[in-house]
């Protein structure tokens, strides 16, 4: 089994505004940089090689943590298509996004975007490579990646809230089997002192 410690990037201005970022390359906000500056990696991070999504918000988070990651394009955020840059509240108010769009589960897809099931397909490829390499790895990624990984590990169908909250400002620990299947070890390892 291969260890994977994964965390979400720090806050952006669009996070604070409730805007969907997806594939748009937003940087961290000043408040996000200040928050990440307070992060401390947990003991589980010792000896890991690091990768990061090439999106600025993830890359900047890794850099602020003092990491020297390799870019990994398979862990970029889910593509939200036509809804990127829009506020969730506005999409719901004008009827473009159903109030409970998550009821569609793994097959939910914004117009022109990517479904969680499609995100899982690229994640499976990456996880298989991690398993084949057998190197303990840390990753800085995005909420959509964390949710897709959690779903693969637990069987959560994304039709309702997850059984456990995936909190921001935390790392999440998984083990990857030889066949690339993830197993949840521990969620919500705080990065804040």
84 catalytic? Reply is: no
Set 26, 60, 77, 114: catalytic member: 77
77 catalytic? Reply is: yes
pLDDT of residue 66: 97
Domain of 71: which CATH number? Answer: 3.40.50.1240
Strand arrangement, sheet containing 70-71: 70-71, 49-52, 137-141, 2-8, 170-176, 182-190
Set 9, 60, 114, 142: catalytic member: 9
Q: What is the pTM of this model?
A: 0.95
pLDDT of residue 97: 82
Q: Are strands 137-141 and 170-176 parallel, antiparallel or unpaired?
A: unpaired
Total domains in the chain come to 1
Alpha-carbon span 124 to 114, nearest angstrom? 15
Identify the H or E element spanning 4. Answer: strand 2-8
Per-residue pLDDT of the chain (193 residues; tens, 9 = 90+): 999 999 999 999 999 999 999 999 999 999 999 999 999 999 999 999 999 999 999 999 999 999 999 999 999 999 999 999 999 889 888 988 876 666 789 999 999 999 999 999 999 999 999 999 999 999 999 999 999 999 999 999 999 889 999 999 999 999 999 999 999 999 999 999 7
Asked if 2 and 133 count as a contact pair (C-beta separation under 8 A), the reply is yes
Query: What is the domain extent for residue 30?
Result: 2-190
Alpha-carbon span 184 to 48, nearest angstrom? 18
């Amino acid at each position: 089994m291969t260890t994977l410690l994964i965390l979400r990037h720090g806050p952006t201005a669009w996070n604070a505004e409730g805007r969907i970022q997806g594939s748009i390359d937003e940087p961290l906000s000043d408040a996000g940089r200040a928050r990440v500056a307070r992060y401390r990696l947990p003991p589980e991070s010792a000896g890991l090689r690091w990768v990061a999504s090439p999106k600025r918000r993830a890359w900047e988070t890794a850099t602020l943590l003092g990491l020297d990651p390799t870019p990994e394009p398979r862990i970029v955020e889910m593509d939200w298509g036509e809804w990127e840059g829009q506020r969730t509240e506005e999409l719901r108010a004008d009827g473009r996004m159903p109030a409970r769009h998550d009821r569609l589960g793994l097959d939910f897809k914004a117009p022109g975007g990517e479904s969680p099931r499609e995100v899982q397909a690229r994640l499976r490829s990456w996880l298989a490579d991690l398993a084949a390499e057998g190197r303990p790895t840390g990753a800085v990624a995005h909420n959509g990646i964390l949710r897709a990984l959690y779903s693969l590990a637990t069987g959560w169908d994304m039709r309702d809230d997850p059984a456990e909250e995936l909190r921001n400002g935390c790392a999440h620990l998984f083990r990857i089997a030889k066949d690339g299947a993830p197993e949840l070890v521990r969620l919500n390892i705080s990065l804040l002192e």
